[in-house]
């Protein structure tokens, strides 16, 4: 941890002030936008030091409703990571019993009868405001979308284990991802019914889970993040079913936003209201968080994160054992936010030689493919297996991901340790 010396008090104060500004409890009249962005950039760096220091609230364990058996999940603070080994043989979509959970606080139990979605804001015609009950949403045309939900921090721990770099945030392996068949209504249909105006620029869904407190006690308010109206109208769903069942409580019951191909934070769970704005909106989730900060990035950070990167995972436990001289089948999955997966190469000798894996599924946008490769290890000992995917846009996983302080978008090839035994 860096030593902030005598700056520490002003630093903490300044972060609080910025956060108050961000939740609308402070004003910045007359401040130039450029200045504000610089301040926000500084707060992002500070948050990267502070947020990792302790998990927020619920020291008593995760506030997750579904069972989290150790063969399916690794519990990380308020979150549960899916074990990639448990995906083996489960089909294209992730069964709910092993779908990862990322909760800023804990899963709220909402009553579907009294639940309402309020749509409001300056981006509606005549400043109108509408409410929709669950039955009303269900009467609108239903659509089904197959899509991944993947945390922006998926793979984050490998910045440290593989690149020796410090990052803040939940130390996920590659299991902060799940693939679902989501059914619901188009957000576009709901926005149009609510009287979307031509002047709307941002659409900001907000969750009904508790307000989020950072490790140092700043209240950031309820989870919310603006979406550009173009994306909101393009392919975003208000989903009420996952894999043919009502949404489970942990995944947003009764209704969540589902934003295909974007970082998971965009897919706001337990949505209670949607602000439609004719001016750009900021929240901590598109300023302090979910931008890239660090030596390789400008002081104000990157643009807010949107599309996911390309990744691969073996359906294997770390340190899995294989018998020497026998033929084994290694299986895994690859995916990309930019398109389908075109090819996957696997190395079973620590990265010296590569061969093509057999891909089982057609390349699909917003979803992953399953693949397999045969392996007959010839000597005992510890080694590493590696998988490297290329998507239909030509993006390939690099050997190294450029560092960012909050450890987002780790897309490098992961060196998966295995042991060959006699």
- Work out which of 76, 93, 102, 370 binds ligand MTE, going by CB under 6 A: 102
Q: Does 266 bind Mo ion (CB under 5 A)?
A: no
- Work out which of 76, 83, 102, 311 binds Mo ion, going by CB under 5 A: 102
How many Å is the Cα radius of gyration of the chain? 22
Q: For residue 83, give Cα distances in angstroms to 100, 161, 175, 397.
A: 9, 18, 6, 21
Name the segment binding Mo ion (CB under 5 A); options: 20-28, 116-124, 256-264, 300-308. Answer: 256-264
Q: Does 149 bind ligand MTE (CB under 6 A)?
A: yes
- Work out which of 40, 119, 151, 223 binds Mo ion, going by CB under 5 A: 151
Name the segment binding ligand MTE (CB under 6 A); options: 189-197, 260-268, 294-302, 353-361. Answer: 260-268
Between 10 and 211, whose beta carbon lies closer to ligand MTE? 211
Q: Does 103 bind ligand MTE (CB under 6 A)?
A: yes
Between 151 and 418, whose beta carbon lies closer to ligand MTE? 151
Residues 364-403 that bind Mo ion (CB under 5 A): none
Between 213 and 363, whose beta carbon lies closer to Mo ion? 213
Site string for Mo ion, 47-86 (x = CB under 5 A): ----------------------------------------
Pairwise CA distance, residues 12 & 43, whole Å:
9
Question: Environment class of residue 384 by beta-carbon count within 10 Å: exposed (0-12), middle (13-18) or buried (19+)?
Answer: middle
Between 290 and 375, whose beta carbon lies closer to ligand MTE? 290
Between 197 and 214, whose beta carbon lies closer to Mo ion? 214
Between 104 and 388, whose beta carbon lies closer to ligand MTE? 104
Q: Does 251 bind ligand MTE (CB under 6 A)?
A: yes
Shortest distance (Å) from residue 221 CB to ligand MTE: 11
Q: Does 268 bind ligand MTE (CB under 6 A)?
A: yes
User: By CB under 6 A, how many residues form the interface with ligand MTE?
Assistant: 19
Site string for ligand MTE, 208-247 (x = CB under 6 A): -x-------------x------------------------
Name the segment binding ligand MTE (CB under 6 A); options: 94-102, 317-325, 360-368, 414-422. Answer: 94-102
User: By CB under 5 A, how many residues form the interface with Mo ion?
Assistant: 4
Q: Does 93 bind ligand MTE (CB under 6 A)?
A: no
3-state secondary structure the chain: CCCCHHHHHHHHHHHHHHHHHHCCCCCCCCCCHHHHHHHHHHHHHHHHHHHCCCCCCCCCCCECCCCCCCCCEEEECCEEEECHHHHCCCCCCCCHHHCCECCCCECCCCCCCCCEEEEECCCEHHHCCEEEEHHHHHHCCCEEEEEEEECCCCCCHHHHHHHCCCCCCCCCCCCCEEEEEEEEEEHHHHHHHCCECCCCCEEEEEECCCCCECCCCCECCCCECCEEHHHHHHCCEEEEEECCEECCHHHCCCCEEECCCECHHHCCCCEEEEEEECCCCCCHHHCCCCCCCCCCCCCCCCCCCCECCEEEEECCCCCEEEECCCCEEEEEEEEECCCCEEEEEEECCCCCCCEECEECCCCCCCCCEEEEEEECCCCCEEEEEEEEEEECCCCECCCCCCCCCCCCCCCCCCEEEEEEEC
Could you tell me if 308 and 290 are in contact, meaning their C-beta atoms sit under 8 angstroms apart? Answer: no
Pairwise CA distance, residues 150 & 154, whole Å:
7
Q: Does 206 bind Mo ion (CB under 5 A)?
A: no
From the list Mo ion, ligand MTE, none, pick the one residue 281 interacts with, judged by a Cβ distance below 5 to 8 Å according to partner type: none
Task: Using CB positions, name the residue nearest to Mo ion.
Answer: 151
Shortest distance (Å) from residue 149 CB to Mo ion: 9
Between 21 and 99, whose beta carbon lies closer to ligand MTE? 99
What is the contact surface with Mo ion in residues (CB under 5 A)?
102, 151, 264-265
Contacting residues toward ligand MTE, per CB under 6 A: 99-104, 149, 151, 178, 207, 209, 223, 251, 264-265, 267-270
């Amino acid at each position: 941890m860096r030593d902030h010396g005598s700056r520490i008090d002003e630093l903490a104060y300044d972060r609080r002030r910025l956060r108050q500004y961000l939740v609308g409890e402070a004003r910045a009249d007359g401040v130039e936008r450029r200045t504000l962005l610089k301040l926000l950039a500084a707060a992002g760096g500070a948050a990267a030091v502070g947020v990792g220091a302790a998990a927020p609230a619920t020291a008593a364990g995760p506030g997750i409703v579904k069972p989290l058996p150790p063969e399916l999940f690794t519990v990380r603070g308020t979150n549960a990571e899916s074990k990639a080994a448990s995906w083996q043989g489960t089909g294209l979509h992730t069964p709910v019993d092993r779908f990862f959970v990322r909760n800023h606080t804990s899963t709220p139990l909402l009553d579907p009868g009294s639940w309402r979605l309020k749509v409001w804001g300056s981006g509606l015609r005549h400043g109108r405001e509408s409410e929709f009950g669950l039955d009303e949403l269900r009467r609108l045309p239903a659509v089904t979308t197959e899509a991944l939900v993947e945390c922006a921090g998926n793979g984050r721990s490998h910045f440290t284990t593989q690149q020796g770099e410090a990052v803040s945030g939940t130390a996920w392996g590659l299991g902060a991802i799940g693939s679902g068949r989501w059914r619901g209504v188009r957000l576009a249909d709901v926005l149009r019914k609510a009287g979307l105006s031509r002047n709307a620029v941002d659409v900001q869904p907000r969750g009904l889970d508790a307000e989020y407190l950072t490790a140092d006690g700043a209240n950031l308010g309820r989870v919310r993040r603006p979406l550009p109206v173009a994306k909101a109208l393009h392919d975003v769903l208000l989903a009420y079913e996952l894999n043919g069942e009502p949404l489970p409580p942990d995944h947003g019951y009764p209704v969540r936003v589902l934003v295909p191909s974007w970082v998971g934070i965009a897919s706001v769970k337990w949505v209670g209201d949607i602000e439609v704005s004719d001016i750009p909106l900021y929240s901590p989730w598109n300023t302090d968080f979910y931008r890239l900060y660090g030596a390789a990035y400008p002081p104000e950070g990157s643009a807010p994160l949107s599309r996911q990167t390309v990744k691969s995972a073996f359906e294997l436990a770390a340190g899995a054992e294989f018998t020497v001289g026998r033929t084994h089948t290694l299986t895994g999955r690859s995916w990309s936010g930019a398109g389908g997966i075109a090819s996957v190469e696997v190395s079973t000798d620590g990265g010296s030689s590569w061969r093509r894996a057999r891909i089982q599924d057609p390349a699909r946008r917003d979803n992953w493919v399953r693949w397999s490769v045969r392996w007959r290890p010839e000597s005992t000992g510890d080694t590493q297996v590696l998988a490297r995917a290329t998507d239909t846009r030509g993006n390939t996983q690099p050997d190294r991901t450029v560092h960012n302080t909050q450890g987002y978008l780790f897309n490098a090839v992961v060196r998966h340790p295995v042991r060959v035994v006699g």
